[in-house]
Amino acid sequence: MEKPQHFIDNFSVFDLIIIAMISALGIASKPLIVPLSHIITGPLLIPGGVVAGGFYMLWLVLGAGIVGKYGTATLIGVVQALLVFGTGIFGSHGAMTLLSYTLPGLAVDLSLYLIKHRVCCLPCAFLAGLVANVSGSSLVNIIYFRLPFVPLVLALAVAALSGGLGGIIAYKVLQVVNKNRTWGKGFNGG
């Protein structure tokens, strides 16, 4: 009788190293991006995370593209949540940090799975960034902000645009990574 394969067994050690590095880069970039986004969102009276999220969600899309396996973005989200718990520096969501970091990764993996893409083209990268940021912004709104309908629609529209732009940036970076890749062939033809 065959032993059932565990989810984590789908990833090589190299894949897990990439996931850990991308997770750390995402957490490290957050304190640089958030204050800049507050300059834009402050006068509009919308939460700063809707703009900033698009740019730190790009790490989920980039990681999913580099590794090329379903579940990568979810793992990146889990590792980021654990990093936030471990450092205690950037976490303002308390115990909900695990959910607020994991849900966008899960949204990326689910959307890519449903359209049968793996950050292989600009539209799927845009969509992956969009769903990551909209899901994260929606969850934070449900838990903390509870914005009225009109400001919520505005915030989610900005989150969608910002997330999509983050997905485009991730795709462009992925093209450079695949062009210069010296290790084995990646899913995206590296």
Average of per-residue pLDDT values in the chain = 86
Q: Strand, helix or coil at 38?
A: helix
CA–CA–CA angle 129, 109, 130 (5° rounding): 15
Q: What is the pLDDT of residues 92-113, one digit of tens each?
A: 667 788 898 999 999 999 999 9
- The pair of three-digit structure tokens given for residue 182, joined into one six-digit string: 């010296």
**66 pLDDT band (50/70/90 cuts)?**
very high
Residue 135 lies in a domain: yes
Residue 122 lies in a domain: yes
Structure-derived torsion over alpha carbons of residues 172, 176, 177, 179, reported in degrees to the nearest 10: 130
Residue 151 lies in a domain: yes
Residue 8 lies in a domain: no
CA–CA–CA angle 73, 98, 153 (5° rounding): 75
Residue 9 lies in a domain: no
Residue 188 lies in a domain: no
Residue 162 lies in a domain: yes
- The pair of three-digit structure tokens given for residue 153, joined into one six-digit string: 């629609």
CATH number for 112: 1.10.1760.20
The C-alpha atoms of residue 174 and residue 180 are separated, in whole angstroms, by 10
> What is the rounded average pLDDT of the residues 37-63?
81
pLDDT at 140: 84
Residue 171 has pLDDT above 80, yes or no: yes
pLDDT at 92: 63
CA distances from 21 to 12, 72, 164 (A): 14, 12, 22
CA–CA–CA angle 179, 180, 181 (5° rounding): 100
Helix 58-67, helix 49-56: angle, nearest 10: 20
The C-alpha atoms of residue 42 and residue 35 are separated, in whole angstroms, by 10
The C-alpha atoms of residue 71 and residue 130 are separated, in whole angstroms, by 17
Q: How many domains would you assign to the chain?
A: 1
**190 pLDDT band (50/70/90 cuts)?**
very low
- Using the structure block, give the residue that is written with the tokens 């304190």: 31
Which of the two residues, 85 and 157, has the higher pLDDT score?
A: 157
Residue 100 lies in a domain: yes
C-alpha closest to that of 81 among 167, 49, 73: 73
pTM: 0.87
Structural domain containing residue 87: 19-30+46-180
